[in-house]
């Protein structure tokens, strides 16, 4: 069950990263807000990389590596913009749809197809996400789905969720053709550096900006670093759809953070949906025993 513990750690770290970023950096531009966790975690990845054994790499590793950079980059920008402009409890829940998308992408790229029990757990997670978006007194069957179009951050996060479903399975393929630790360190050292240099080259960010709030930057960078390392190990130990299902418990922690840090409303419905998602995750876990 090591994969489950690592996946849960991933969920906690990614939700903490989102909450911290929204609370302390959402007043910045989208590009500056996005760059904060990338810049500060870059030094952690770069410092760790010399101590990581380099496995034998093949053509499959390099093409999956190269595709993963723009794919994850676009998804990350959608993700950051969503939490910047909308409440956490109306954006983070849409990440729960990643496992549903991965039923298809996992089969295409990894030849992984969850059995009926696993699929049932993933579907329960999606139903929980639906309940999260019910508004008391305004409910109709389609209203939670209509919320995607009413709330800009919601549909942005749904797009991010779809892109992550490709990124996760392609990333796992790269891990299987290298190693979890090497891929995590090397990919995000390159990914973070490329995105930040690209933003600086197009004058979307001024690198001098990031000398301010360095302690807050180190904290958000640490959340990102733990998120990536635990993700890389966890997804190498089980089916990608199962790992991402547990990782998406970040929506539970996101709802809690939304209430504690931002006093977001309708918390009873949103927390009920989050608990149902926990049930779905348990279904997925039991399937792997």
The per-residue pLDDT for range 87-119, each reduced to its tens digit, is 887 788 777 777 777 777 777 776 767 777 777
Please compute the mean of the pLDDT values over residues 255-271 and round it to a whole number: 85
Tens digit of each residue's pLDDT (9 = 90 or more) over 170-186: 888 898 899 988 998 99
Mean pLDDT of the region 191-199: 95
| Residue 55 confidence (pLDDT) above 70 | yes
* Cβ contact 13:253 at 8 Å: no
Burial of 179 (0-12, 13-18, 19+ CB in 10 A): buried
Residue indicated by tokens 């690198």: 207
- What number of CA atoms fall less than 13 Å from residue 28's CA on the CB side? 20
- Rounded CA separation 152/245 (Å): 24
pLDDT for 128: 80
Token output for 126: 């999606």
Residue 122 has pLDDT above 70, yes or no: yes
Helix (H, G, I), strand (E, B) or coil at 37: helix
Least confident of 57-66, 70-79, 120-129: 120-129
Spatial neighbors of 141 by CB under 8 A, at least 6 apart, are none
Interhelix angle 214-235/2-25, rounded to 10 degrees, is 150
**What are the extents of the domains in the chain?**
2-287
Model confidence at 82, pLDDT cuts 50, 70, 90, reads very high
Q: For residue 263, give both structure tokens.
A: 């006093």
Burial class (CB in 10 A: 0-12, 13-18, 19+), 32: middle
Average pLDDT along the chain = 85
């Amino acid at each position: 069950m090591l994969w489950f513990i690592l996946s849960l750690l991933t969920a906690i770290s990614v939700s903490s990263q989102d909450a911290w970023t929204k609370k302390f950096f959402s007043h910045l531009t989208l590009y500056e807000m996005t760059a904060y966790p990338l810049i500060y975690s870059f030094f952690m990845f770069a410092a760790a990389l010399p101590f990581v054994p380099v496995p034998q790499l093949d053509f499959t590793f390099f093409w999956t590596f190269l595709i993963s950079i723009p794919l994850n980059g676009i998804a990350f920008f959608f993700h950051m913009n969503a939490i910047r402009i909308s409440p956490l409890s109306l954006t983070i829940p849409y990440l729960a749809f990643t496992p549903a998308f991965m039923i298809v992408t996992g089969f295409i790229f990894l030849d992984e197809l969850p059995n009926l029990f696993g699929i049932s757990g993933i579907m329960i997670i999606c139903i929980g996400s639906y309940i999260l978006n019910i508004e008391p007194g305004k409910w109709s069957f389609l209203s939670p789905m209509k919320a995607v179009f009413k709330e800009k951050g919601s549909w942005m996060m749904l797009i991010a969720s779809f892109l992550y479903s490709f990124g996760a399975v392609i990333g796992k393929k790269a891990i299987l053709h290298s190693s979890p630790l090497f891929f995590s360190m090397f990919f995000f050292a390159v990914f973070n550096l490329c995105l930040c240099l690209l933003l600086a080259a197009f004058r979307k960010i001024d690198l001098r900006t990031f000398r301010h709030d360095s302690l807050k930057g180190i904290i958000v960078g640490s959340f990102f670093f733990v998120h990536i390392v635990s993700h890389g190990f966890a997804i190498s130990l089980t089916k990608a759809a199962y790992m991402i299902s547990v990782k998406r418990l970040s929506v539970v922690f996101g709802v809690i953070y939304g209430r504690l840090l931002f006093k977001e409303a309708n918390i009873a419905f949103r927390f009920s949906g989050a608990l149902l998602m926990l049930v779905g995750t348990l279904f997925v876990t039991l399937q792997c025993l």
